[in-house]
């Protein structure tokens, strides 16, 4: 893919966000798997997070509160289902909205990494409920990830 990022939907039950980062695969994977870095970028614009648990292993839980600037607190519970370092992270949400995530990290020439973030829903109705919000929020989070990677690279 020649574009730096692309948000698409491949079906009526998926939301896919892809971006190429100008950073090595190991560093991008670390930004996703080290809660000290993840907490700095995992959120849409205006939000903050409090991480309560981050147990990165199959069956491990990721529990956090996302604080909205105007709509209060949103509790999030996820369970990791598969981890393949530095290529893959999969989890399922245990709180609404329910979906599964597949995040893949692929090496690209020039020490770049293509990140594909796929959200999989059980039904088109569930996917449609958050499609417009998720597409924008994913891009905002990836913008923050880009900044976190720059700081990590120094």
| pLDDT one-digit tens code per residue, 114-151 | 999 999 999 999 999 999 899 999 999 999 999 999 99
Mean pLDDT in residue range 67-76: 92
Q: What is the average pLDDT score of the chain?
A: 92
Taking the C-alpha atoms of residue 93 and residue 78, their distance in angstroms, rounded to an integer, is 4
pLDDT, position 3: 33
- The pTM (predicted TM-score) of the whole model is 0.90
Q: Where are the domains of the chain?
A: 5-42+81-152
Please name the residue that has the structure tokens 């900044």.
147
Taking the C-alpha atoms of residue 101 and residue 62, their distance in angstroms, rounded to an integer, is 13
What architecture is domain 5-42+81-152? Answer: 2-Layer Sandwich (3.30)
The 3-class SS string of 62-79 reads EEEEEEECCCEEEEEEEE
Q: How confident is the model at residue 71 (pLDDT cuts 50, 70, 90)?
A: confident
Instruction: Kindly state the DSSP code that residue 20 receives in the 8-state scheme.
Output: E
- Burial of 106 per CB tally in 10 Å (0-12, 13-18, 19+): middle
| pLDDT one-digit tens code per residue, 35-57 | 999 999 999 889 999 999 999 99
Taking the C-alpha atoms of residue 8 and residue 148, their distance in angstroms, rounded to an integer, is 24
């Amino acid at each position: 893919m020649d574009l730096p990022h692309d948000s698409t939907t491949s079906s009526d039950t998926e939301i896919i966000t892809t971006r190429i980062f100008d950073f090595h695969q190991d560093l991008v994977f670390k930004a996703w798997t080290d809660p000290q870095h993840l907490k700095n970028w995992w959120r849409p614009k205006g939000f903050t997070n409090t991480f309560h648990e981050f147990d990165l292993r199959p069956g491990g839980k990721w529990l956090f509160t996302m604080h909205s600037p105007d709509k209060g607190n949103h509790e999030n519970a996820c369970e990791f289902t598969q981890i393949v370092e530095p290529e893959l992270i999969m989890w399922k949400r245990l709180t609404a909205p329910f979906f599964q995530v597949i995040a893949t990290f692929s090496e690209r020439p020039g020490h770049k990494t293509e990140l594909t973030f796929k959200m999989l829903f059980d039904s088109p109705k569930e996917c449609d409920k958050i499609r417009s919000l998720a597409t924008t929020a994913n891009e905002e989070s990836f913008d923050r990830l880009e900044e976190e990677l720059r700081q990590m690279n120094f």
